[in-house]
Chain A
Amino acid sequence: MAAPLTLLLIVAVTIRAVLFRSSWAELISERVEVVSPLNAWKRVVEGLALLDLGVSPYSGDVFHEVSLSLIHFLFKSILGSDGITAVALYLSIQTYNKNVFRKQKYALESDRYPADCLELLRSPKEMFYIPLKVAMFYLLNPFTILSCVAKSTCGLNNAIIALFILCTLKGSALLSGILLALATYQSIYPLTLFAPALLFFLQRLYIPVNLRRSSFWFFTLQYAFIYVGSLVVITGLSFFLLGSWDFIPSVYGFIFSVPDLTPNIGLFWYFFAEMFEHFRLFFICVFQINVFFYTIPLSIKLKEHPVFLIFMQIAIISIFKSYPTVGDVALYMAFLPAWSHLYRFLRNIFLVSCVLLACSALFPVLWHLWIYAGSANSNFYYAITLLFNFGQILLVSDYFYAYLRREHHLTHGLYLKKKDGTEATLVLK
């Protein structure tokens, strides 16, 4: 499978190179849907220039990325970060598929599936091309291409999260903790991925998730120690590199308190543009808790399925974070081929695809009408933002429903019967 993947990488690199050389690169790197105040390349350049002049890069409220040296060292690989992400996703989905198939085989041998749901089981033939499709979905997604051509540091963030997923699925707790710390250090929201990673390791080491068992606490503390320790070390390294704690209010304070209200595809900007100062803190807290809160119920429901939980978490982060861009959207969309067996249970896929396509087409139109033609105003643009996020939420909840429904069928059989023997329908209320 190396040959198709290499071919795919070459095609992806060609497309990006062609776009990079054309006059569109400038246009794309200024679009608000693709870059945000957190990850715009223009701001990284500004920060580097300030550093060259000997001034702290965080002065002047322009630069909000972390650890300049990291960026400086890796900036050449922003263009290659897409490749790293694709290969990492490819390998992780491959490992995941092997795990899934092995578990299915054991369950079949121990007769745990009802007789009529055999058509729901997955075969190696159908799963063979899924890793390639995942890599393709990530590399050839127009969102990823736009994000890469704009040299947004979102590509780097995606690469780190993809590597984290790979290390988690391969079972290396140390590397996974370090990479998660790196991802959290760059933007705080991957903190919520701690729970699914923990659940995965517990499942892999056959430690039951029971709050009264000491083995559970032992491992949790180990993993938390690795994670928090790496985070402390990395933060400390940043401090020593730049010589001040400036970056904490500039980066983390910026992400949490949302002072910059440049329009983007997220939900924060319009709301806070109209907010009275008196209520600002309250609503900031409400909006930020919204991102982190879904971890708890989702982890409880999906504790047997940590990889799906990772997908859900990444989707929720990219919908509800304070400065989302299309690069974040592209990361969770890359996972969709891994759940292609759920297609028969998806109910709203047509509506969702239409909504997402229409909104992606309407974003630049309404931006032009608002900013350049002056015929529209921010309400129009926010309406499209709302619709886009509604489409994303519908997509995620649809996949969630389909996943749970398949699990239900696998335990209770495909053709459900009520107590008196007539056919039953499954209703999600």
Chain B
Amino acid sequence: MGLLSDPNRRKALTGLLTRLNTPICIVCYLAGIVWFMGLAFEPFTLRTYMSENAMGSTMVEERFSSGERALSLAKEFDAHKRKAGGMPVEWLVKAMQSRGLEVFTQSFSRKLPFPDENKERYMVRGTNVYGILRAPRAPRTEALVITAPCSPGNTNNQAVALLLALAQYFRNQIYWAKDIIFLVNEHDLIGTQAWLEGYHHTNITGMEYSPLQGRAGSIQAALSLELSSDVITSLDLVLEGLNGQLPNLDLANLFYAFCQKLGVLCTIQGKLQRNDWDTAEGYTHAAQTMMLMVLKQACGRSWGDHGLFLRYHIEAASVRGINSFRHYKTDATTIGRLLEGMVRKLNNLLERLHQSYFFYLLPSLSRFVSIGYYMPAFGLLAVILLLRALDLWVHLGAPALAAVDGVTEAEQPSSPGVLTVLTPVVISHLTGVALYLLPVHLQEMAVEHFPVSETEAVVLTAIAIYTAGLALPHNTQRALYAVVMVLLSPAFTILYCVFIYQELIEAPVSVSEGWMLFLSVISQGILDHALYGSLVYPLLALFIYPCWLMFWNILFWN
């Protein structure tokens, strides 16, 4: 422990630290940014590979052929959906029963804390319908889930129909070792959350649901299907789940392997992989894909119905069919074969997917960056905080060194009392707590006094509390620093991220549209936290915002 106890070496090291502090910090910052952006450069990434032994070979021939039947079923489902004005529960139950599944329903209801303006719902009531295909000769200990959402309007009819066609096909096979649950959920994420909570006997989000009558053992993996057209040009894989949790990389590898085998075009973040990694456009394409993944994980939302499964240690991914302008079209039979292949592979699993990485970034579907490669970049950024703190500590502990002109240096090196330091800390944290609790609780009062809707009231209250925290006596000499601080505040960072995200998905927006998007992002964040337990809003309100407020305090310290 020479470094910690030898005073000569300590003095040398601390001297080095204080002299070179700013240059080292700048170098670390730049190194961190360059490292992170360099990760998208293809030679620095690794090719994806199948880690799980049980999912190794793809030598099986897929025989699913009822794509056309699925499409006609989609029209039938659409007609019944329109007639029922929501989920056609009886038709679905009959359809599943005629295919030999054990069918059960679950009703749920949830009152949102304030109306959701994006999806236009406030008091949500719905029914989930699920059918269990029992494995013929296996004990009922493990299960797989295939789910398709029942969405209003024209969307996802083909997904539900393909689900039913697959169910019929699977029923005739003898090789199933796990039970397969075919779930059709209503009201997308809310329905999935109700089903999962009912399945696992938990109640973490205050949902009211009827208990599930039928169960199938512990769920090993889940696939969510979103298909809205008869033919598609590509399949998009969605991995990001709640709180940025990702499924095991083996699931993405599985999807990619099957897309290669069946000749289906596959994309991630909606972007197709390019071959020209040595050009600038190739690199920027990969960097954009990676940054999109980072942004999607950072916002903590679940970007597909699969996202809520991850919390229960169930590996899940969403497969979304996209119909755009390309020559080569893929029909429903091929998609059915893809799903059949994936589910057969998952059927072979002896234990949960755990061999491959849980934390990774994908610049493209065949290349990945694991946590061991991207964490050092964050480590370099975090080291800056440590170096600055050590520098301040060393300066605090050695005031006698600055007594060159002892006459003019009249400031007492004695530390200020604990109370003077504690007051801003407590006030910052209390403001953070207010930012977390008050917007939802004060919405009735705000609606009474101001001509706004409840959602707008919540968002505007949040913004009001946020800016109220800035109310401090001003010092015009520090105006420039103040402006820079405000431009780097958490709210503005979210605003920049909104604009950057729109740029990355190639749908840039104007300033006013961006502002409206920003407001809806805030309301969605608060809703996600209340409905599914996303942690981004509490993290921002209770940790990041008080820290920023303390910095703001220090700026105007007199």
Contact = CB atoms under 8 A, between A and B. Distances in A.
Contact of A425 (B7, B352, B386): B7
A374 B354 contact: yes
A228 interface: no
9 contacts: A347-B4, A347-B10, A354-B389, A373-B313, A374-B313, A374-B358, A394-B4, A425-B7, A429-B5
Contacts of A351: 4
A266 B72 CA distance: 64
Interface string A402-429: 0000000000000000000000011111
A348 interface: yes
B245 A348 contact: no
Contact of B393 (A350, A372, A428): A350
Nearest to B313: A374
A426 B10 CA distance: 13
A372 B313 contact: yes
Contacts of B10: 347
B258 interface: no
B510 interface: no
A350 B4 contact: no
Contacts of B393: 350
A368 to B, nearest CB: 11
B172 interface: no
Please classify the interface of chain A as helix (H, G, I), strand (E, B), loop, or mixed, using the class held by over half of its residues: loop
Contact of B8 (A373, A375, A425): A425
Contacts of A429: 5
Given A350-B390, A350-B393, A375 B7 contact: no
Interface in A108-159: none
Interface residues of B, number: 16
B6 interface: yes
How big is the A interface, by class? 10 to 19
Contacts of A354: 386, 389
Contacts of B5: 347, 401, 427-429
Q: Which 7 pairs of residues, A with B, have the shortest CB-CB distance?
A: A375-B358, A374-B313, A350-B393, A428-B5, A425-B7, A348-B4, A427-B7
A68 to B, nearest CB: 34
A374 B8 contact: no
A168 B312 CA distance: 54
B6 A373 contact: no
B6 A427 contact: yes
Interface in B386-413: 386, 389-390, 393
Most buried by B among A348, A373, A394, A427: A373
Given A347-B4, A375-B359, A425-B8, 16 more contacts: A347-B5, A347-B10, A348-B4, A350-B390, A350-B393, A351-B4, A354-B386, A373-B358, A374-B352, A374-B354, A375-B358, A401-B5, A426-B7, A427-B7, A427-B8, A429-B5
Interface string B520-557: 00000000000000000000000000000000000000
Contacts of A350: 389-390, 393
B91 to A, nearest CB: 38
Contacts of A347: 4-5, 10
Contact of B245 (A373, A394, A401, A426): A373
Nearest to A401: B5
Interface string A364-384: 000000001111000000000
Contacts of B8: 425, 427
Contacts of A428: 5
Nearest to A371: B313
Interface string B352-377: 10100011000000000000000000
